[in-house]
Structure 1
Amino acid sequence: MLRRIALFLLVSSTGTGASSSSSSPLLLSVARGETVDRVPVWMMRQAGRHMNVYRDLVKKYPTFRQRSETPDVSRTISLQPLDRYGVDGVILFSDILTPLPAMGIDFDISEGGKIKIVPIQTREALEKRLRRVSKIDFRRECNFVGAVLEELSRGLVQSSPETTLIGFVGLPFTLASYLVEGKTGVGDNFPNIRKLMEENPDVLHAMLSLLADNIIHYACYQIESGAQIIQVFDSWAGHIDDEYYGLFCEPYQRRVVQGMKQQHPDTPIIIYMAPGPYSSGGRRLKALAETGVDIVSVDHTIDLSIARELLSDYDSVGLQGNLDPQLLRDGPMDEIRSRTLTILENIRGRKKCILNLGHGILPDTPEIHAECFVKTVQSFRN
């Protein structure tokens, strides 16, 4: 099982190995709208807790930040799903909160995923704690991110040129929700950020503006370090009603996407919003498509064929999704295979389609179920 990683480490460190392919890797080709013979597949959160090899590393590196900020460890974890499943995309093992310390905000993530941040809820706290500089040097402040991406890029070109390297960032509203709540606010419906929206919107706009500018720089840093696609996450924006979404979410989504496109127009961008009271059933798909992204990642609360119809006026926007992660966890494998084939039939012949889950893979998902999903996709031909 570890032979692929061992070969990868050899060629990335020595620069030797098979000569690189002149054609683009499959997933990148699809994101650019090129015609291919099959649909690419990867899984959100594919590198992490559901894998036995990852849990073995946890014993040696007990904190998430140790694992994500130690280049050799992050690189190894990023490659584990490629080695185990042969996925078409390798995504950086990191977190959307990773750039926060460079902005002046420390954070902690427990092994169960619980996030802890000293909250920012006033203008005074914002001005004191969030760094107000024109451009943070992420190459210096987050040098471990660039180191991992550069090594992954070199290694993939030599040992797995058909595999696409994916970076990712959080979008301003979702990051701001952590800063204001000091934790994941979904459990109690984001009371503090709602209070800011209603009572001190200028403070929230100032925070969102700073975050947007920094996220653009951070995403471009990932691209310049080797990421071929960037996925942007506004995970919690589906919990905000349409009025506030139009004020505090959508403008900053557009700002980040357009800022990235200005500097790297040829790098495809995928956008994802987790299912929530105002986004489930595809209610925010058009808004996401209008941000200027290349691909909208669809959650599992809507059939992908219906998502196609909703976005029929957006010919240049592709789709990613959307197997239910609970089905992937619970099975049985016949049902995983059947549902995956149904999704594939619904997008047969359509360009710019990527198979994924409707949310991140659940930590207690059996590896054999994930393998069944990936292999079912890869055996299907357009």
Structure 2
Amino acid sequence: MDAPSEPSDTRQADRPLLAVLRGERRDPTPVWLMRQAGRYLPEYRALRAEKGGFLDLVHDSEAAADVTLQPIRRFGFDGAILFSDILVIPHALGQDLRFMAGEGPRLSPPLVDYALDGLEAAPERLDPVYETVRLVARDLPPETTFLGFAGSPWTVATYMVAGQGSRDQAETRRMAYRDPKAFGAIIDAIAASTVDYLGKQIEAGVDAVQLFDSWSGSLSPAQFEHWVIAPNAKIVAELRDRYPDTPIIGFPKGAGEKLPAYARETMVDALGIDETIDPEWAADALPEALPVQGNLDPLALIAGGERLDHATDRIKRAFAGRPHVFNLGHGILPDTPIAHVEHLLACVRQG
């Protein structure tokens, strides 16, 4: 079977963020913020109140496209990140997905006590996401890079096994040790679905994709190699074979000293680093010329003032010698002042 054809690109203007992800250095540094389309924006809160539940908003393609574009209209970020959720993959694999007010997501049945092959896959549940991508790609400014995303297999599996988020992912870690064959089947199913999901995002119009591994920091080095590096390397290899011109960002939050191995072995095009990483250490330890993304502490953005300026300057200096995308070390928090975001953008764009 022939590989899917690449989508035609009607946005021909220079896109600084995309250039950096492909290995160029740009001054000023391009910038976007994880979770930039979300609860810190009054326009998001108004639309969310109108549309109801979070999953309803994700499945309303026109509304989800509007949410994706809101921070671009307000701030002119260099990248727009698709508005969706990492748990649409388990939903497509057959688990029921609900978002409980004040409690977070719930998946049922939890796979800690239910066989994966008992689920009935429903890939059509992803169709609204692809329509969102098409709508955003149509309306996005030509200079703005459009980022798709998915959760990495380990992080998605922690929710599928436990049925919800947890502080230490204990149930999933126990299952990985107790029954690596059954757990490996879950990881493989997520990886295969993720390749198809990201591929369809690319075909619908995204310029680059990011793999979020929010819980990778809970694993021992050997388990990290097995359940984070190996499946992500497989996803990257398959996507690159099908879409060789689409950059892939890996973001293994909490990986710490395992970051260099992750970068080398997954072969991601760019590496997101969280706020716990010393940027000077990262600049020295990571593969030379690898584009990096990050890594401002979201709380420094809330604090503002001199502390924000100092942290911003330190990150810019540390990564001045390599391709760099300025970003947070994790998602922007709901109580972040709009004025602080505006100030950060001004500081980054001073060059």
In the alignment, what sits opposite 1:169?
Answer: 150
- 2:196 is equivalent to residue 217 of structure 1: yes
In the alignment, what sits opposite 1:289?
Answer: 263
Match 1:328 to one of 295, 301, 309: 301
Q: 39-48 vs 371-380, which deviates more?
A: 371-380
In the alignment, what sits opposite 2:51?
Answer: 61
What does residue range 270-289 of structure 1 map to in structure 2 within 5 Å?
A: 270-275=249-254, 279=255, 282-289=256-263
- 2:132 is equivalent to residue 148 of structure 1: yes
Distance (whole Å) between structure 2 residues aligned to residue 258 and residue 111 of structure 1: 38
Which structure 1 residue ranges, 4+ long, deviate > 4 Å from structure 2?
Answer: none
TM-score, with structure 2 as normaliser: 0.92
Change (3 A) 1:67 1:208: same
Identity of aligned residues (%): 34
| Helix, strand or coil at the partner of 2:88 | coil
Distance (whole Å) between structure 2 residues aligned to residue 68 and residue 113 of structure 1: 18
Tell me the amino acid that sits aligned with residue 178 of structure 2.
E
- 2:282 is equivalent to residue 307 of structure 1: yes
TM-score, with structure 1 as normaliser: 0.85
Instruction: Kindly state the Cα deviation for residue 345 of structure 1 after the two structures are TM-superposed.
Output: 2.0
- 2:211 is equivalent to residue 265 of structure 1: no
Tell me the amino acid that sits aligned with residue 235 of structure 1.
S
Change (3 A) 1:35 1:283: closer
**Cα pair 2:89 2:190 within 8 Å, conserved:** no
**Cα deviation digits, residues 43-83 of structure 1 (max 9, x gap):** 00110011111111121112101111101110111111111
Match 1:317 to one of 273, 286, 290: 290
**Cα pair 1:321 1:358 within 8 Å, conserved:** yes
Match 1:341 to one of 295, 299, 313: 313
What does residue range 191-206 of structure 1 map to in structure 2 within 5 Å?
A: 191-206=170-185
In the alignment, what sits opposite 1:360?
Answer: 331
| Helix, strand or coil at the partner of 2:96 | coil
Instruction: Kindly state the Cα deviation for residue 23 of structure 1 after the two structures are TM-superposed.
Output: 4.0
In the alignment, what sits opposite 1:298?
Answer: 273
Uncovered stretches (5+) of structure 2, i.e. residues with no partner: 1-9
Distance (whole Å) between structure 2 residues aligned to residue 249 and residue 35 of structure 1: 29
Match 1:183 to one of 164, 173, 183: 164
- Please give the root-mean-square deviation of Cα atoms over the aligned residues, in Å: 1.7
Distance (whole Å) between structure 2 residues aligned to residue 230 and residue 21 of structure 1: 17
Q: 104-113 vs 26-35, which deviates more?
A: 104-113
Distance (whole Å) between structure 2 residues aligned to residue 21 and residue 57 of structure 1: 28
Match 2:24 to one of 26, 34, 50: 34
Tell me the amino acid that sits aligned with residue 274 of structure 2.
D
Distance (whole Å) between structure 2 residues aligned to residue 228 and residue 371 of structure 1: 25
Distance (whole Å) between structure 2 residues aligned to residue 218 and residue 22 of structure 1: 25
